[in-house]
Chain A
Amino acid sequence: MTFHPKLDYREAHRSTRKMPYDDGRVFVYDPENRARFEEIAKRYPPEGRKSAILPALFLVQRQLGYISLSSMQHVASVIGCTAADVEDVVSFYTMFYTQPVGKFVVQVCRTLPCALRGAERVTEELVAALGVEPNGTDPTGTFTLIEVECLGACDRAPLVMVNDGWHECLQPEDARQLASDLVARGEEALTGCHHQRPEHPEPRTPNPEPRT
């Protein structure tokens, strides 16, 4: 094995620990989310109570929008594990936001099948339309733009995920329109292209009311 002189091996390792974000507020579940948590915890046997960490964190994110230091401590106390157990999980998974994010989190899939159909250009157009760089939030707190790994919809490429909804077959030239539609109509602006394109093999199932 030769070490290549032009590769910078001295740069900080990318897993360097980031301290949890402390927003200076004490987090507790509101009664509704607390009840939801108790309902979810029943799905797992008593020895597997830690299984509820992931759903518990989704509930935090639903209530607060991101995961703060205090919320990690709260999750640890309702589950009965250490705060370090919770931080361990939060720091691993990409869907947990450790910083406040914008009202619309726009996630562009950048992996090969989407990239083959122009995902790089979609990102480029979105950067211009939203006025934020990837991994950034605009000053008004409306948009956060993130480039993400394969979302599992390569037949609908390029795919953009806004909060929990999908926007399929987004053409680069339509990115600006999507941005303004989002501001005007919220997540209503998202479309599944499969509704409009009959040659596609399957339609989309209408989405029932959210419950998680």
Chain B
Amino acid sequence: MDLILTKHVREPQCYTLDFYLKHEGYEGLRKALAMKPNDVIDLVKASGLKGRGGAGFPAGMKWQFVLKDTPKPKYIVCNADESEPGTFKDHLLMERNPHLLIEGCLIACHAIGAKVAYIYIRGEFLHVQRVLEQQLEEAYKQGYVGKNVMGSGWDCDIFIHRGAGAYEAGEETALLESLEGKRAQPRLKPPFPASAGLYGAPTAVNNVETLSNVPSILLRGAEWYAALGPEKNGGPKLYCVSGHVQKPGVYEAPMSITLRELIFDVAGGVRDGRPLKAVIPGGSSVPILLPDQLDIPASFDDVQKAGSMLGSAGIIVMDETTCMVWAAKNLLYFYKHESCGKCTPCREGGDWLYKILTRIDNGEGEMRDIDLLVSVGNNIVGKTLCAFGDAAATPALTTVKHFRAEFEAHVREGRCTVPSDWRASRTPVGAH
């Protein structure tokens, strides 16, 4: 398949406006501006474009839900707060192909009738933000953004807003709270952002990769786009492969590619030729898949059927030297640290899970601690305002489910039985 999102990313000047204009840049926007907003929404709906941020919600539907009959302004908010562990695709898109995102934002604004788009970028991406700001300024100068976009008489502004370090700001309502200058804590839904979002006005929140897919749909049509992958999972997808592989990186492929192909062919296989132990297919929040479950297409629907989720397509590969108790502990530290503290099950439960995992990892655990883990985990799932609670419990629940013997060995032996030379010597005495 021809690459669509990342075709030119290796070329040195690919991020400039001149380069973009030479490669059909802003042609999708030109087409969109000649169409009625509702026709643009119908086209995107027909393409079956699913949100690339993690939930996989159809983007066209999201735009359709935005309230039309309201005196309030409407907003497009681009979620560039890429912070799911194992995910780094938006970073590449914004750094190497910023105009694709800018064009996507403009088309989205035209579709829902917004005059302002905010790009909420995570604070740690300052070097990316500078590239984006520079290119946005260039687009303003040449009349692609701002007053009278491409001579159409339509005005649209794009502003970049820098986050300040909060994983929770990746959740759409928490992102809106953060954009309003508050703590990044999720809101009670409904009302959904489509009716009461930013400043109480109708808002659509879309991921960077989602918006970057829109220009090509306008340019080549919904049928072409839908035909690029398996049924209902059309279009190109960016996969982030990290962990114990030879060539970690961002790879574009249609969703008919299998997880095994991604890990062994595209990313060069497990490093040092070691046996594979486990794969987290969609960012740290999703359940583990075992090596014998990898012969499935890496699409939203197929990965879900296999008992996990494609999420943000952050594929974390772990080889046989990985201690699963340690891996779960590492992720639970992340979740307890990043919990926004709004809902008790997640705020307290995450902390408890981490404490219990630490005890087991230190070799001080008891057999009943393993059941306690499962019990605490199950009391978080489904009991919080946003999906963070489920995400926080998942690493503990999924490792116990698949690797219970390893937990029991830790308790029995009082130490870790998995050798791993890449671990630090400061890890607990007796372990490793």
Contact among B88, B126, B247 for A212, CB-based, below 8 A = B126
Nearest chain-B residue to A154 (Cβ)?
A: B242
Nearest chain-A residue to B85 (Cβ)?
A: A150
B20 to chain A, nearest CB (A): 13
A208 to chain B, nearest CB (A): 4
Q: Given that A50-B180, A51-B181, A116-B322 are known contacts, is A57 also in contact with B164, CB under 8 Å in the complex?
A: yes
> B345-383: contact bitstring with A at CB < 8 Å (1 yes, 0 no)?
000000110011001000010001100100110010000
Q: Which residues of A contact B12 (CB under 8 A)?
A: 203
Contact among A2, A53, A149, A154 for B240, CB-based, below 8 A = A154
Question: Is B122 close to A, CB under 8 A?
Answer: yes
Counting chain A CB atoms within 10 Å of each CB, the highest count among B133, B163, B242 belongs to B242
Overall SS of chain A's interface: loop
Q: Which residues of A contact B425 (CB under 8 A)?
A: 124
Q: For the complex, what is the distance from the CA of A57 to the CA of B318, rounded to whole Å? A: 39
B169 to chain A, nearest CB (A): 9
Q: Given that A92-B183, A95-B164, A202-B250 are known contacts, is A149 also in contact with B242, CB under 8 Å in the complex?
A: no
Q: For the complex, what is the distance from the CA of A2 to the CA of B424, rounded to whole Å? A: 34
* Contact in complex: B244, A116 (CB < 8 Å): yes
Q: Given that A2-B372, A124-B425 are known contacts, is A200 also in contact with B162, CB under 8 Å in the complex?
A: no
Counting chain B CB atoms within 10 Å of each CB, the highest count among A81, A92, A121, A165 belongs to A92
* Contact in complex: A155, B179 (CB < 8 Å): no
* Contact in complex: B164, A94 (CB < 8 Å): yes
Contact among A53, A92, A120, A156 for B184, CB-based, below 8 A = A92
* Contact in complex: B427, A117 (CB < 8 Å): no
A56 to chain B, nearest CB (A): 9
Q: Which residues of B contact A96 (CB under 8 A)?
A: 164-165
Question: Is B325 close to A, CB under 8 A?
Answer: no
* Contact in complex: A93, B165 (CB < 8 Å): yes
Q: Given that A6-B359, A57-B164, A93-B164 are known contacts, is A152 also in contact with B122, CB under 8 Å in the complex?
A: yes
* Contact in complex: B341, A15 (CB < 8 Å): yes
Q: For the complex, what is the distance from the CA of A113 to the CA of B250, rounded to whole Å? A: 14
Question: Is B47 close to A, CB under 8 A?
Answer: no
Question: Is B129 close to A, CB under 8 A?
Answer: yes
Contact among A43, A54, A152 for B125, CB-based, below 8 A = A152
Q: Given that A54-B181, A112-B316 are known contacts, is A149 also in contact with B164, CB under 8 Å in the complex?
A: no
Question: Is B113 close to A, CB under 8 A?
Answer: no
Q: Which residues of A contact B164 (CB under 8 A)?
A: 54, 57-58, 89, 93-96
> A134-154: contact bitstring with B at CB < 8 Å (1 yes, 0 no)?
000000000000001111111
Q: Which residues of A contact B250 (CB under 8 A)?
A: 155, 201-202
* Contact in complex: A165, B330 (CB < 8 Å): no
Q: Which residues of B contact A155 (CB under 8 A)?
A: 88, 240-242, 248-250
Q: For the complex, what is the distance from the CA of A47 to the CA of B424, rounded to whole Å? A: 51
A131 to chain B, nearest CB (A): 16
Q: Which of B24-32, B56-64, B89-97 contacts A (4 or more CB under 8 A)?
A: B89-97
B143 to chain A, nearest CB (A): 20
* Contact in complex: A117, B199 (CB < 8 Å): no
Q: Given that A4-B356, A112-B330 are known contacts, is A166 also in contact with B249, CB under 8 Å in the complex?
A: no
Q: Which residues of B contact A208 (CB under 8 A)?
A: 130-131, 133-134
Q: Which residues of B contact A118 (CB under 8 A)?
A: 422
* Contact in complex: A153, B91 (CB < 8 Å): yes
Q: For the complex, what is the distance from the CA of A54 to the CA of B162, rounded to whole Å? A: 7
Question: Is A12 close to B, CB under 8 A?
Answer: no
Q: For the complex, what is the distance from the CA of A96 to the CA of B340, rounded to whole Å? A: 16
Q: Which residues of A contact B248 (CB under 8 A)?
A: 154-157
Q: Which residues of A contact B163 (CB under 8 A)?
A: 54, 93
Q: For the complex, what is the distance from the CA of A116 to the CA of B418, rounded to whole Å? A: 14
Q: For the complex, what is the distance from the CA of A118 to the CA of B340, rounded to whole Å? A: 28
Q: Which of B219-227, B296-304, B331-339 contacts A (4 or more CB under 8 A)?
A: B331-339
Closest 3 CB pairs of A and B: A120-B424, A50-B181, A154-B242
Please report B residues at the A interface, Cβ cutoff 8 Å.
6, 9-10, 12, 15, 73, 82-88, 91-92, 95-96, 122-127, 129-131, 133-134, 159, 161-167, 178-184, 198-199, 240-244, 247-251, 284, 314, 316, 318, 322, 327, 330-331, 333-334, 337-338, 340-341, 351-352, 355-356, 359, 364, 368-369, 372, 375-376, 379, 422-427
10 examples of A-B residue contacts, CB within 8 angstroms? A1-B379, A2-B372, A50-B180, A57-B164, A94-B166, A112-B334, A117-B243, A165-B127, A202-B95, A212-B133
Q: Please give 9 more A-B residue pairs, beta carbons under 8 A apart, in addition to A14-B351, A50-B180, A123-B424.
A: A1-B376, A51-B180, A94-B164, A110-B333, A112-B334, A124-B426, A150-B86, A152-B124, A208-B131
